[in-house]
Each structure stands twice: as C-alpha cells, then as structure tokens.
Chain A
Amino acid sequence: MPAIHSFFDTPSPAGLTGVKAWLLTHDHKRLGIMYLWAVLFWFTVALTVGFLLRIELMTIGKTIMSAEIYNSAFTLHGVIMIFLFVIPAIPAIFGNFFLPIQLGTNDVFFPRLNLLSWYLYMFGGLLAIISLFTAGGFPDTGWTFYVPFSVGTNNNVPLTVFAAFILGMSSMLTGLNFITTVHRMRHKAMGWMQIPLFTWSLYATAWVQLLATPVISITLLLVIFERAFNIGLFDPDKGGDPLLYQHLFWMYSHPAVYVMILPGMGVISEIIPTFSRKAIFGYKAIVISSLGIAVAGSLVWAHHMYTSGMSDTAVFVFSLLTFLVAIPTAVKVFSWVSTMYKASIEMTPPLLYALVFIYLFSVGGLTGLVLGAAGTDIHVHDTHFVVSHFHFTMFGGTGFAFFAALHFWWPKMFGIMYNFKRAYIAATLATVGFMFHYVPMFILGMQGMPRRYYDYLPQFAQGNALAAAGGLLLFVGIMLMLINLVLSFRKREISSINPWGGVTLEWTVPSPPPLHNFVAEPNVKEYPYDFSEILTAENAGKKGQVTP
C-alpha cells in the first residue's frame, strides 16, 4: 500500500493551517475528535460535581456545602450531564466519526452544518459557564426547570435555559445530518438491511432528535418569555397551568432518554458480535426494536406525572404505553446474550464494558417497571429510587456504552492501543463502585427518602454513608480509565487496521483513517455481520490482518 496520510496528517490547504485546520474543518472525523475533548471536559466537570453532592450527603446536616450551593450543584450536575454529556456523547463523537465510514462514504451530507453544530455545542457550554457567575448565579431549579418555581426564583434561569435551547439546536442539526447522510450518501451497494446496527440506532435516534427537540426549544423560550413579560402561561397566579409545562417538558425529555440510550444500544450491538466473532442474533429484530423504541418512546412522556394531579384516565393510558416500550428493549437484551451462544469469545476491555452495560442496563430497565406501574410509582416517584433507576439506565447504560465505545474505537480514531491491564482494573473498580453507590439509593427510595434533599431524617443515614463510599470507588475507577486512555498517547503502541477482527467498514480503512476515509472502493457485505472472511484469514494464520 502506498503511504497514506491519516486525517490528522493530511496537509491543509493554504490559509487553513495550524489551529484553523481544526476550527474551520468540515471533516466529520476532526469534528468527532473535537467533540470528544469537549464532551470529556464536561463529563469530568459534572462527574466531580456529582461526587461532591454525594460527599455532602454522606452525613446529616452540613458536610461540605450550604443548601444554596447544593441546590445549584445538583442543577448544574443535571444540566451538564444531560445536555452536554449524555445526549451528545455517542452521536456527536462516535456518530460523527463512524457513521459516514460505516455507510461507505466520505463525509456527512451537510459538512458545514456539522461544523455549525459543533460551534452551537461550544456556545451552549460557554453560556452555561457564564450563567454560573452572572445575575443571581446558576439556577437552583433542578434540570427540569419546573414552574412556577423556575419563573419566580432569582437565580439566572433565563441564561441557563437559553443555553439548553442552543444545545438543542446543535442536537437537532446533528440529527438532520445523520438522517440525510443515511438516505443520500449510503454506498450504492448498501441496502437498508445491510446497514450496521450502530448506524441504524443513530438513524432512529436522529428522527427523535429532529422531531422532539423543537418541543423543548419552544417550551424553554416560553419560560424565558414568562419571566420577562409575565404572560401567565404557566404561572397559576396569572391563570396559567403548571401541568402544561410538565407535559411540554416531558414530551421532549422523555423521548430524549431514548436519544440518550439508543446510540448506546447501537454500540453494544457492534461490540458483542465482534468479540463473539459471530453474527449478531436477530439483526432485523434489533433494527425493528430500535425503530419501535423511537416511536413508542415518544408516546409515554406523562409517566413522569402520575402524582401531578392529571386524570386517572391519563395515568391508565400512559402506564399501559410505558409497559409496551419495555418489550423492544427486552428483545435487544435477549438478542445480545444469544449472540454469545456457541460463539468464540475473546475478552477485551470493550467487551467487558459491554457485558457490564448489559447487567447494569437490565437492572435499570427492570426497576423501571415499578415506576411504569401506576400504584407502585406513587410511592417511589421523586424519591432516591428514581435517582438510582435513571443512573442505572443513563450512567450504567449510556455511560458504560460510551466507555465501551471509547475502548472499542480508540485504536481506530488514534491508531494507538491503550494498556489492557489498567483498563480492566478501572472497569472493575467502576463497576463495584457503581453497585455500592446506587443500590443503597434503591433502598433509600423504598424507605421514602425524596430526591433533591440537602438534608435527611436519621433513618436514611446509613444508606447515604454507604452510597458516598461507593461513589468514591466509582469516581476513582472512572478517573483511572480516562487517565489510562490519555497515557496511550505517551506510549504510542501502534494499532493495526483491524485489531479486534471487526467486519463493519471502519475496520477496513487505515487507523486513523485518511481524509477521504477509503483508499479503495468499499466492499459492502451482503450481510453486515458475516465473519467468514475473518475466520478464513485466522485459519490461514494471518491473525487480525484482513485485506480490505
């Protein structure tokens, strides 16, 4: 093969050198890398804030911060984690980087819009930082900005809400780009049932991003107007309806949890077959379940509102619909586990993270059942049970899928491999810490400890102390994981084109890929998870090397 420059090393055109080659790039891979560093920055910030919150809750009364700071801190933790980490993490980093390659094309459909989307993301983050230090400080409303409290509080709600609005725009444009890319730029030889499952999951996600985000955008603007002009949409003092806000808010924010989890499920659907060296079980069922989750997940928003005072008929309908969303999710879990039946499984850090994902996400999904059921939800709604449940799905689920994706695609993105031993230690610490951190919260919730509590009754002391100890372990594990990845730049252990024996198109291009992704015409497989070539090559003794 002639010398091929990776996209990192490709000479830039005149006038676009140095930092400009990055800041004005249209290359989906560079944008993916730029998202990576920004997202990791925000993740570390919000992780630290979350850790400090648990330290505060370690003992009754004041431990390290006042109630004012605590209330702003959990809002900050939620806003950053939701809008700056969980929503963008997998689509913006790995979606941008790998969706075009998995489709056998050279970029997304609107590369300039892709760059704009990155700037909107950065701008939204910047506004969030500014709102920390201006006009009353960061909001103390919780990330849900429930009215009428958010309309009345003196803290800087408008700016933070505007930041979320901007971040929503960024998310929408990314979704638009993915939909158009899948439709218009897919390799001619690639039919719908030949698209890799990660790209399929991004496609389903993109529709939700595109259709649901405008609802929250409008709602957040209405909050700003309500505060600025006293319109009386949501404020009961002026004849407004607080429940209207909750409906509008969850009409986006519930589908948004599927925006958060679907790409993670897509990552797992790539990792499990790769290290099983075996076709994914039930490819079509997984595709259909992704679309099913996207559609059904958009119709269950009011299950956040069983105690709100809405009609019992609404509770009945939304509870029923909620249980139906459980089915496609269960189908995916069964398919992943079945893929490993009679497989040839190689343990690696990405696979370990994926297996931990399946366990933690199953706990998260199954504990969601008592929240979907009407009678039981009344007891645990707005308690620590809910906190634990959504951290199992969003952190144990999306978070661990993100870690799995980092370890899976790191050698492709940077062409280097990290230390396995440290990666295993970090994963183990994080998993054990995770369990000790969040399982006590389930018990606290069953005992009746509400969420967003700065202080608590004596019967909740033991659980909170235990959660803090688990939190420390979790924090150390994740920091070790991130440090291990960064250390790979120092050692620079060069990775091959296909270190894992993957079969999707990104494993046929150099690591890191060249500017235009493909050096030869991509060879689209009849069935995307056909490992026969890998096995033939293996048997011929050419371990890990596949001719593109």
Chain B
Amino acid sequence: MDPVLGVDRAFWYIFIVSAIFLAGITVVMVYFVFRYRRAKHPQPADIRDNWKLELLWTVIPTIIALSMFWVGWQSYTGLRNVPAGAVQIEALGQMFSWIFIYDNDKETENELVVPAHTPIKLNIESLDVLHSFYIPAFRVKADAVKNFPTYVWFRTNEPGQYDILCAEYCGLDHSQMVAKLTVLPKNQYQEWLDQEDE
C-alpha cells in the first residue's frame, strides 16, 4: 500500500473513533446537566460505583487504544521500509536552507528535483543545528542531526510541485527555510540531471 494512503487511513480511523467518543461524552454530559438540574430533580440518587460498568469502560477503550496503536504502527512501517531501487539523494540542512546532492554530484539549494512514479530515498543530515525535513504532501518528516544520518522515503506520482519545510526550530530564519520539490517526468528528470550547473 502507498505509505501516504496508509497514514491517511490511520488519521481517519483515529479521528472518526475520537469524534464518536467526544460526541458521546458531550451529549451525555449536557443531557445530564439539563435533565437532572436541581429545580427538576431535587433529590439525588446515592450511586457510588458500579464495578461492571467501570470494568467495561476500562476494557473497551483499552482494546480500541491498542487497535489505534497498531494502525499507527502499520502506517509507520510503510514510511520506514524503503523499496528496492529507490533513487538516493543527499539532503543536508543548514541555517537556513536545504542542500541537495545527487548521484552525479550535482548540487542544488532549496530545489529538489525528482523523477515521477519512482520511490525516492533522501539521506538526511545537518551541517549545524537541528533541522527537520518535512514534506507535508508525502507525510514524511525526519530530524536532520549533525553526524547522525537519518532518512525519509516517498513514492512520487504525477509531475507537480510541493513544499518542503523545516519543522524543527533552528533560529532566526527558521520559517524562511522553505524549499521546493519538483517532480518531473522521467526523461525530463534525466535531462535536468545531466545539465551542467549554470
């Protein structure tokens, strides 16, 4: 399964179950406040506990929570298991830009160009303080740490442009550390790669 789809399904699963819980809690709470207001219900019942109910609302949420954990973990493995044959590119964070180095030692700043319909693996490292490499469209994020390589991978689809952001606060121009991801058709990508730097 496409990792983006896996993550999005995990989001939907958790959000929908959460919305049901929130709606339930809120509706019941508001209903009780009106139904049992003192003017209408002056004599409260004396109920102190009910172990069956308490057991039920401990066990059921535990099962639901574990299912959420599992769905979350499954989608995480999708983000971590790089398929064979991925195009590898180095991504280096520095204050305040991203440097990309391709196979043939071509180097770009704040501009990542990749081929369409291809798995891409980015090897991430920092040249100074912590940064975090983030492409919202592909649901990937990894901290860039000096001397401590990490990676992200994603599968490109149709050609297009996406935002790359720095998600770990890195100083004055943290919010300016924005790069562009351009997905080119495979043949154009090869052309672009073979161009000499201007």
Contact yes or no, A362 B22, CB < 8 A: yes
- The smallest beta-carbon distance between B88 and chain A, in angstroms, is 17
- The answer to whether A337 and B169 touch across the interface, beta carbons within 8 angstroms, is no
Chain B residues whose CB sits within 8 angstroms of the CB of A341 once the complex forms: 32, 36, 45, 47
Q: Which of B133-152 contact A (CB under 8 A)?
A: 134, 136-137, 139-143, 145-148, 150
User: Is A140 at the interface (CB under 8 A from chain B)?
Assistant: yes
Q: B136 touches which one: A278, A334, A447 (CB < 8 A)?
A: A447
New A-B contacts (7) at CB < 8 Å, excluding given A450-B134, A529-B48: A243-B148, A278-B47, A281-B48, A331-B57, A334-B25, A456-B175, A531-B46
Interface presence of A499 (CB below 8 A): no
Residue of A nearest to B148 (CB): A309
Also in contact, A358 and B172, with CB within 8 A (given A327-B62, A373-B73, A376-B10)? no
The answer to whether A307 touches B141 (Cβ under 8 A) is: yes
Query: Which residue, of A152, A283, A382, A454, has the highest number of chain B Cβ atoms within 10 A?
Result: A382
Cross-chain contact of A307 among B44, B57, B143 (Cβ < 8 A): B143
CB of A383 within 8 A of CB of B167, answer yes
Chain A residues with CB under 8 Å of B78's CB are 375
A37 at the interface (CB under 8 A from B): no
Looking at the assembled complex, report how far the CB atom of B100 sits from the nearest CB atom of chain A, in whole angstroms.
19
A285 / chain B contacts, CB cutoff of 8 Å: 49, 54, 58
Tell me, rounded to whole Å, the shortest Cβ–Cβ distance linking A150 to chain B: 9
Contact with B along A135-160 (1 / 0, CB 8 A): 00000111000111100110000000
Cβ A312 vs Cβ B32 within 8 A: no
Please name all residues of chain B whose beta carbon is closer than 8 Å to the beta carbon of A141 when the two chains form the complex: 169
Residues of A within 8 A of B145 (CB): 236, 242-243, 308-309
Residue-wise interface mask of B (55-80) relative to A, using a CB-CB cutoff of 8 A (1 in contact, 0 not): 00110011001101101111111111
Contact of A379 (CB < 8 Å), options: B41, B44, B141, B166: B141
Q: Mark B103-145, 1 if CB is under 8 A from A, else 0.
A: 0000000000000000000000000111010101101111101
A366 at the interface (CB under 8 A from B): yes
Which residues on A are within 8 Å of B, measured CB to CB? Answer: 67-68, 71, 140-142, 146-149, 152-153, 236-237, 241-243, 276-285, 306-309, 312, 315-316, 319-320, 322-324, 326-327, 330-331, 333-335, 337-338, 340-347, 355, 358-359, 362-363, 366-367, 369-370, 372-379, 381-383, 447-448, 450-457, 527, 529, 531-532, 535
Do the beta carbons of B48 and A355 come within 8 Å of each other? no
Q: Please pick, from B38, B41, B45, B57, the residue contacting A334 in the complex, using a CB distance under 8 A.
A: B57
> In the complex, how many angstroms separate the beta carbon of B70 from the nearest chain A beta carbon?
9
Complex: A149 Cα to B53 Cα, angstroms:
51
Contacts A71-B172, A140-B171, A457-B163: A375 and B7 contacting too (C-beta < 8 A)?
yes
Please name the residue on chain A nearest to B75 by beta carbon. A375
Chain B residues with Cβ below 8 Å from A381 are: 141, 167
How far is the CB of B57 from the nearest CB of chain A, in Å? 5
Q: Is there contact, CB below 8 Å, between B6 and A375? A: yes
Please, which residues of chain B bring their CB within 8 A of the CB of A370?
10-11, 14-15, 72
Do residues A376 and B65 form an inter-chain contact, with CB atoms below 8 A? no
B148 surroundings in chain A (CB, below 8 A): 236, 241-243, 309
* CB of A26, distance to nearest CB on chain B (Å): 38
Taking a contact as CB atoms under 8 Å apart, the answer to whether A376 and B14 are in contact is yes
A382–B173 Cα gap in the complex (Å)?
16
Q: In the complex, A68 Cα to B173 Cα: how many Å?
A: 9
Q: Report 13 cross-chain contacts, Cβ distance below 8 Å, ordered by A residue.
A: A71-B174, A243-B145, A243-B148, A323-B69, A331-B58, A334-B57, A343-B36, A369-B18, A375-B72, A378-B79, A382-B141, A452-B169, A457-B178
B29 within 8 A of A: yes
Q: Let me know if B165 is at the binding interface, CB within 8 A.
A: yes
Question: Is A320 a contact partner of B69 (Cβ separation < 8 A)?
Answer: yes
B61→A342 contact, CB < 8 A = no
- Contact between A282 and B15, CB atoms less than 8 A apart: no
Is residue B28 within 8 Å, beta carbon to beta carbon, of the partner chain?
yes
Q: How far is the CA of A148 from the CA of B127 in the complex (A)?
A: 11
B168 beta carbon closer than 8 Å to chain A: yes
Q: Does B192 contact A (CB under 8 A)?
A: no
A-chain residues with CB within 8 Å of residue B50 when the two chains form the complex:
281-282
Q: B41 contacts A337, CB within 8 Å?
A: no
Is B22's CB under 8 angstroms from A366's CB? yes
Given contacts A341-B32, A378-B7, contact A346 B141 (CB under 8 A): no
A345 touching B61 by the CB < 8 A rule?
A: no
Is A448 touching B165 in the complex (CB atoms < 8 A)?
A: yes
Q: How far is the CA of A331 from the CA of B143 in the complex (A)?
A: 35
Given A455-B175, A456-B175 in contact, is the A326-B61 Cβ separation under 8 Å? yes
- With A369-B18, A370-B14 already in contact, the answer to whether A355 and B65 are too (CB < 8 A) is no
Asked if A344 and B47 make an inter-chain contact with CB atoms under 8 angstroms apart, the answer reads: no
The answer to whether B29 touches A374 (Cβ under 8 A) is no
A315 to B141, CA, bound (A): 14
Q: Answer whether A327 and B61 are a contact pair too, CB < 8 Å, given A345-B32, A362-B25.
A: yes
User: In the complex, A30→B63 CA distance in Å?
Assistant: 48
Assess whether B73 is in contact with A378, with CB atoms less than 8 Å apart: no
A342 and B44 alpha carbons, distance in the complex (Å)? 6
CA distance A330 to B63 in the complex (A): 13
Complex Cα distance A277/B37, Å? 11
B72 touches A376 (CB 8 A): yes
Contact A358/B129 with A344-B44, A457-B178 known, Cβ cut-off 8 Å:
no
